[in-house]
Amino acid sequence: MSLSDWIGTIGVTLLLIAFALNITKKINPDTTTYLLLNIFGAGLAGVSSYMIQFWPFVVLESVWVIASLIPLFKKNK
């Protein structure tokens, strides 16, 4: 596997962990842990997408990071 594959795999794994924990009610989506899993997961997936120049996912993952950062900043004000 290439470096971009590893980075993307780790990112998507973090996103899926957040999703699985949320759907099984083990974590609330407004917790810092959930938001950080989404930020780092989407960030890594976005970097991977950038590395392979897959621009639609670069945009998607960038929006995902921003959407997760907003409630994190509001929560920690």
**pLDDT 10s digits, 11-70:** 999 999 999 999 999 999 999 999 999 999 999 999 999 999 999 999 999 999 999 999
Let me know how long the chain is.
77
Task: Please give the tally of structural domains in the chain.
Answer: 1
pLDDT the model gives residue 76 = 74
Q: Which domain holds residue 71?
A: 3-75
Q: Using a cut of 0.85, tell me whether the model's pTM lies above it.
A: yes
3-state secondary structure of 18: helix
pLDDT the model gives residue 77 = 76
Q: What contacts 49, CB < 8 A, 6 or more positions away? A: 8, 55, 57, 58, 61
pLDDT the model gives residue 10 = 98
